[in-house]
Amino acid sequence: MKNPCETVMTPPSIAAQVHQDVARALQEDLGSGDLTAALVPAARRAKARILAREAAVICGAPWAEAALRALDPAVQLTWHVAEGQRCAADQVVLEIEGEARALLSAERTALNFLQLLSAVATKTATYVEAVKGTRAAIVDTRKTIPGLRLAQKYAVGVGGGVNHRIGLFDAVLIKENHIAAAGGVAAVLRATEAVAAQAAFIEIEVETLAQLREALDAGAKMVLLDNMPLPTLREAVQLNAGRAILEISGGVTLDGLRALAETGVDRISIGGLTKDVKATDFSMRIQELA
C-alpha cells in the first residue's frame, strides 16, 4: 500500500506558483551550472535524509519536492512527516534517493523553502492556539517577502490562519491616507461603489470610536480597528453590536494576543506572521550508493 505521506498534493493555483517559485530559485542558485556538484561522477546515485533540527509544523513540501524533481525527475521521495503535521527536534522528515549531483544541487533550494515556510506555519499555529476558544481568526497581511507572497500565505493557511487580500487588486482596504485624500470616511465609502463588483471585500480602517460610528452609519461592513487600547476595543465591539466584521491591527504581540481576542473582535491581523520569522533549522545528509 502506498505511503499516504509519499506525495504531497497541492491545489492547482498553488501548483502553478510552486513551479514559478522553484524555477526562479534554481536559476538564482545554479546559474550556468553547479561547479562543485560537477566534481561528483555523473552516474553516481545517493540517498539523503532531511532532518528538522527543532520542533515545527512542516510546510513547504511541494516546493522542496519540485526543486528535487526539477533536477532529477525520477527521484524517490518518502515523507515521514506530512505537510501541516508537527515534527519533533532531530526527526527525519524526508528520505530521498536519486542522482547524487541533482541532490547536491537542489539541496539549498529545497531547504530554503522548507525553512521559511515551516517557520511561517509554526508561528501562525502558535498564534492560532493562543486565541483558541474565542471568535477571533488570525489573519495575515501584505508584509511578505517580495516574490514569495503566495508561498507565505499558503504557509499561513497550513498553520491554521486566514489569508487577507492577496494584493491591491482583489479587495479594498481604506486606510488613513485614503480617507484624507478622499475627503473623509463617508465620502470614501461612497466612492467604493465604483469598484465594489471587483472587490472580494471592502474594509475601512478607523483610529477612534467617532470614526467607527461614522463608518457604521455610512454602511461599512468590515472595519479595521487600528492600534486601539483594550478598553477602547471593548467599547468598539459594544458600539458595533454585530453590524460589521471587526478586525484588530497594529502592535499585536503574542503576550497580549489572548486579551485582544477576548474583546470579541472577529479577526486579528499580524504582519509578523510573514515579516518577522526565524527560519526553522533543517539539514540534509547524503550517503553514497554507487
pLDDT, tens only, 112-143: 999 999 999 999 999 999 999 999 999 999 99
Q: How far is the first Cα of the chain from the last one, in angstroms, to the nearest whole number?
A: 28
How many residues are present in the chain? 290
- Dihedrals φ, ψ of 283, to 5°? -140, 155
The model carries a pTM of 0.93
- A 10 A CB-CB count for 28 gives 9
64 neighbors 7 (Cβ within 8 angstroms) = no
Judged on CB neighbours under 10 Å (0-12, 13-18, 19+), 59 is buried
**Active site (annotated) includes residue 221:** no
**Active site (annotated) includes residue 108:** yes
At 1 the pLDDT is: 30
The three grid cell numbers given for residue 84, joined into one nine-digit string:
501541516
Distance CA 175, CA 172 (A): 10
6: pLDDT strictly greater than 50: no
42: pLDDT strictly greater than 60: yes
Say which of 83, 140, 203, 205 is annotated catalytic.
205
Say which of 108, 142, 190, 243 is annotated catalytic.
108
53: pLDDT strictly greater than 80: yes
Label the pairing between strands 282-288 and 267-269: unpaired
Distance CA 87, CA 192 (A): 46
Say which of 143, 221, 234, 243 is annotated catalytic.
143
**Active site (annotated) includes residue 175:** yes
pLDDT, tens digit, for every residue of 181-234? 999 998 999 999 888 889 999 999 999 999 999 999 999 999 999 999 999 999
Say which of 29, 54, 207, 226 is annotated catalytic.
226
**Which domains are seen in the chain, by residue range?**
12-128+277-288 (3.90.1170.20), 130-275 (3.20.20.70)
Say which of 47, 175, 221, 275 is annotated catalytic.
175
Distance CA 59, CA 140 (A): 16
